[in-house]
Amino acid sequence: MTVTENNEAIDGAERVRRRGDDSAVLRLSEADAAMIGADPDAADDERVLLNMGPSHPSTHGVLRLMLEMEGETILRSKPVVGYLHTGMEKQAEQLTFLQGCTNVTRMDYASPLFTELAFSLATEKLLGIEVPERAVWIRMLMCELNRMSSHLLFMATNGMDLGAVSMMIYGWREREEVLRFFEKVTGLRMNHNYIRPGGVAADLPDGWQADVERLLELISPRLEEYDILMTGQPIWRERLQGVGVLNADEALALSATGPILRSTGYAWDLRRDEPYLAYPEVDFDVIVGSYGDSFDRYAIRLNEIRESMRIVEQILDRMPTGDYRVQDKKVTPPPRVRIDQSMEALIHHFKIFTEGFKVPEGEAYAAVESPRGELGIYMVSDGSATPYRMHVRGPSYINLQTMPHLMQGGLIADGVAIISSVDPIMGEVDR
């Protein structure tokens, strides 16, 4: 479907509502798929079922696609997921609220701080505590830096998938600079367990401003280089423009969020529309596209890095002083020095880390705008120290539903560009 046809469609979402053979989604079980391939008398011009993945260089982890092909054209497709499923939602029911962050941080491994944040916000909603202002701003700083590193990773993999191999090296290089700062603050490059219910694990180290300033100075001109290398380049545009088009009605109907929804021209960003942390106090623009194609999704992410840098600059100027975690004895362990002086402090510390803290019964949902869209945690507590149920609304899992619709009628070579532009993180898809 071309861009003009798309804009003229009356019920914009009719295409994604189809149930039958004309749907873009291939609804075929594994057993039936095996039967199709087994027929030795199949005619030469028949539709071919092609398997792509789960271990394919362009599928970003272990995504497997079942593609129904006619020649080079994709008719229907089915993303087959679950290869990384490790039952993290079940696992969360065994871990205390304090240990929960170590679990959830491993889901979306490209933007771990967002899952930690959503988990902490949901827990804090149930606890009814408010974190100190400095903790809020530290969280915001770390999340925006994480959005940069996640989008830089996208720049790298998107470039690699389309044959811009130098971009891969550049993207990883810049991302590594951000991760180096994370390592300094949290002790780890990934899976930080830094944002915790009640605040953050530790205050920012001395000299963090200089590090962040250096980072901003370094990355800003490099983004200009990306523009020269890719944005204006004819081959790059040829590969992405008009490939994998979705309109706003379709994106909304498919529950898509994040850059995929915004690429259709629909401005919806939780940071602006349902503000959390201190986002109302900083200036930034919500980047939207206009054609809903792969190029728009690329351009949105590139410009979101710039917006994140704008937010980080404002945080640098306005970081408040104060405590980095709530001084509520119920959820916060005593300071390290007190443990040497007081038996009670030692017991208190021991209790919090072995038994955890009890969370009042109830249910809560907290959502944040992750680099991939709305990341939400639905938490049910029965008054004990472990969640009764924890559900993650993973943006990658839900955005993956748009993939068959983006691919329908396209070439298989464009399929690679589409997978890349959806930017799924399989750890969070399969959980």
Partner 1 sequence: MIDAGGGVLHAVADTYLEGCAEARADGFGQLIDLTAVDYLTYGAPRNLPAAVEAERFEVVTQLINHSTRERIRIRTQVNADEPVLPTLFDLWPGAENLEREVYDMFGIEFTDHPDMSRVLMPEEWVGHPLRKDYAIGSIPVQFKAASDER
- When binding is defined by CB under 8 A, the residue of 144, 304, 369, 374 that contacts partner 1 is 374
- When binding is defined by CB under 8 A, the residue of 107, 398, 406, 417 that contacts partner 1 is 398
Told to check if 99 binds partner 1 by CB under 8 A, we report no
Told to check if 106 binds partner 1 by CB under 8 A, we report no
- When binding is defined by CB under 8 A, the residue of 66, 253, 282, 425 that contacts partner 1 is 253
Closer to partner 1 at the Cβ: 186 or 381? Answer: 381
x/- letters, 14..33, toward partner 1 (CB under 8 A): --xx-x---x-x-x-xxx--
- When binding is defined by CB under 8 A, the residue of 48, 255, 385, 412 that contacts partner 1 is 255
Closest CA to 85 of 107, 109, 101: 107
Q: Please, what is the minimum distance in Å from the beta carbon of residue 30 to partner 1?
A: 5
Size of the site for partner 1 (CB under 8 A): 50
Closer to partner 1 at the Cβ: 17 or 173? Answer: 17
x/- letters, 210..249, toward partner 1 (CB under 8 A): ----------------------------------------
Span 272-331, contacts to partner 1 by CB under 8 A: 273-274
286-321 exposure pattern, b = at least 16 Cβ within 10 A, e = fewer: ebbbebbbbbbbbbbbbbbbbbbbbbbbbbeeebee
Told to check if 55 binds partner 1 by CB under 8 A, we report no
Told to check if 397 binds partner 1 by CB under 8 A, we report yes
Distances from the Cα of 365 to the Cα of 18, 186, 194, 374, angstroms: 31, 26, 21, 12
d(CA 256, CA 282): 26
Told to check if 2 binds partner 1 by CB under 8 A, we report no
Closest CA to 376 of 119, 128, 148: 119
Closer to partner 1 at the Cβ: 310 or 358? Answer: 358
Tokens read off for 412? 């298989």
- When binding is defined by CB under 8 A, the residue of 242, 303, 365, 411 that contacts partner 1 is 365
Q: Please, what is the minimum distance in Å from the beta carbon of residue 281 to partner 1?
A: 18
Told to check if 128 binds partner 1 by CB under 8 A, we report no
Q: Please, what is the minimum distance in Å from the beta carbon of residue 19 to partner 1?
A: 5
Q: Give the Cα-Cα-Cα angle 421, 156, 88 (nearest 5 degrees).
A: 70
397, 401, 404, 407: CA torsion to nearest 10: -70
d(CA 98, CA 332): 10
Closer to partner 1 at the Cβ: 335 or 383? Answer: 383
Q: Please, what is the minimum distance in Å from the beta carbon of residue 261 to partner 1?
A: 9
Closer to partner 1 at the Cβ: 17 or 318? Answer: 17
Told to check if 109 binds partner 1 by CB under 8 A, we report no
d(CA 32, CA 89): 30
Told to check if 401 binds partner 1 by CB under 8 A, we report yes
Binding site residues, partner 1, CB under 8 A: 13, 16-17, 19, 23, 25, 27, 29-31, 34, 38, 81-82, 85, 87, 89-90, 94, 252-257, 268, 273-274, 361-363, 365, 367, 374, 376, 378, 380, 382-384, 388-389, 391, 393, 397-398, 400-401, 430-431
